[in-house]
Structures are given as C-alpha cells and as structure tokens.
Amino acid sequence: MLQVLADDVGRLQKWTLVPASGYYNPTPIDTNSFRVADDSLPIWTSGLPIRYRINEVNYYGMVNNTAAGDGIVKVFGPALTGTIQALWIGDPRLVQQVHWSFEGEYGGIPGDLNASYGRLFRWCGPPAYLVCAVLYHHTGRTGGTKEPTVGIYTSAARAVFAADILVTTSAQVQSTPSASLYRVTWLYYLAARVTGVDDGSPHAKGLSVTLQFVLE
C-alpha cells in the first residue's frame, strides 16, 4: 500500500486518500503534528499538500518537515484540534507561491504596505488556502530596542494568522492560519500590514514576504 501511495503521488493525482489503519495515528501529537508509520516517511516530503478532516470539516495544509525515527509529520495549516477522521495527500502542483518585496525603510511605515508601495494584490485563481507565510528583512534597524511586527491581513484588516510576526533578519515562519479566514477566492484581497513599527533610525529595510497556498 505504501508503494501504491507513492505511485499515486508520482502520477500527480489531485488527492489520494491515506488508509487510516496502520499508516497514521488519527490522534495528533499536538496542534501541528501527527505520527505516521516510520517506513512511510519518504512519502511525506516537505512542501507536500495535505487535506485533513476534523469534526466533519476538511482543512488544507502542507507538510513542514518530518522527524525520522519518530514517524512525526509537522504541518503548516490550521491547528490539529481533534481526531483526524480522514487524511489525503495531494498533487504537489496544488501548492502555489506568491512573493512580495518592500524596499527601503518599511519598518517605520504603519499599516498596509501593499497600499503604501502601490502593490495591491488580489487573488486571481481558483479557490485556495493560505497555509504559510515566510517573512524576513535584509537589514535590521539601527539603534532602538523594538523590531517591527508584520501580519498578513484581508481587506477588512482582519488577521489571517493567529499572531503577527516579529520580524528579525532571520527567516520567520507563521504556520497557524485562522480556519475562518485562510480560504481565498477570486479577487480576494491580501496585504502585509505593519502592526508595530520599529524604533530605529534608520528603520529596518527590505522586507521579503513569501505566501504559500494550497489549491482545493
């Protein structure tokens, strides 16, 4: 059966149901990881799209990484808050990526960076789910003690992720989207929003934002 699953992914079927018995533990380890049969770990590659059903609701996510020897799969996506009733692995082409760059001293600009930089973004594709955001800046603030805080927001200034990201020069990953806000449809507006400016002079410079989506 493991080879069948691997072959299904290789043939790029849209979604393949993973048998529950003997292949994964339906009880999550925590809110972002679950356990699978250790000999199946090669299938669960980083970036693989997954779909999981909890309390009769289907959620979409993506494999973050795995822990060999422990059979642990870590997930980008809505929190695993209950028993996994069904689990699917998807065609890798279902993962889509959007990248924004904001040059200059973004750390001192409060509010919607996409609007401030004239880079408004609307989703022009089939329904998808925003499962991960990676943010980092190229040059930190000079002086001061406070780093900028940035989140991903909708047009109604509603936060997609559970918490905004304190941005440093290291890559910062946000992986727990709000299940009620992370589905995007035609012309859905998204923006990077500075919710807390830094206190440096000059401010932090050169913000890079990468958003990763899983198509239905």
- pLDDT, tens digit, 9 for 90 and up, residues 105-130: 999 999 999 999 999 999 999 999 99
Distance in Å from the first CA to the final CA of the chain: 25
Q: Report pTM.
A: 0.91
Among 37-46, 109-118, 150-159, which is the least confidently predicted range? 37-46
What is the rounded distance in angstroms from the CA atom of residue 105 to the CA atom of residue 203?
A: 5
Helices (H), the chain: 2-10, 113-116
pLDDT tens, position by position, 62-91 = 999 998 778 999 999 999 999 999 999 999
| 102 in the same domain as 85 | no
| 107 in the same domain as 186 | yes
Query: What pLDDT sits at residue 12?
Result: 54
**Residue 2 pLDDT more than 80?**
no
The domain boundary residue, chosen from 34, 58, 90: 90
| 85 in the same domain as 103 | no
- 158: domain range? 95-215
What is the rounded distance in angstroms from the CA atom of residue 134 to the CA atom of residue 161?
A: 12
Query: What pLDDT sits at residue 3?
Result: 60
| 109 in the same domain as 211 | yes
Query: What pLDDT sits at residue 92?
Result: 94
| 56 in the same domain as 114 | no
The domain boundary residue, chosen from 47, 74, 90: 90
As a 3-state breakdown, the chain gives helix, strand, coil percent values, each rounded to 5, of 10, 45, 45
| 103 in the same domain as 86 | no
CB 190 within 8 A of CB 153: yes
Segment 88-110 shows an average pLDDT of 96
The domain boundary residue, chosen from 61, 90, 119: 90
Domain of 75, CATH number, reads 2.40.30
CB 190 within 8 A of CB 183: no
- Domain count for the chain, please give it: 2
| 107 in the same domain as 44 | no
| 162 in the same domain as 63 | no
Residue with tokens 């997954």: 50
